[in-house]
Amino acid sequence: MREEALELARRAGDPSAALNRLREFVQALVLRSLHDGQAFLNLAFVGGTALRFLYDSRPVNPGCPKHSS
């Protein structure tokens, strides 16, 4: 798992993109862990994160206050 995360960061091109990819990777791990632990029987997540994961869309600009999570 660690090697997969490092490879994602290496392929990013620049430090900012690498950090964003690592954030997405960790976020996916946390969400998978919650799913595997059946936490989503009583919980749901919505918004930009859900849209990015469900539709494989690009992240919105994290610097834009309107779209901050």
Whole-Å CA distances, 58 to 1, 55, 66: 23, 9, 16
pLDDT tens per residue, range 18-59: 998 898 899 889 888 988 998 888 877 667 777 777 777 665
For range 53-68, the mean pLDDT: 58
pLDDT at residue 61, as a whole number: 56
pTM of the model: 0.62
**Domain residue limits, the chain:** 2-60
Q: How far apart are CA 23 and CA 17, in angstroms?
A: 10
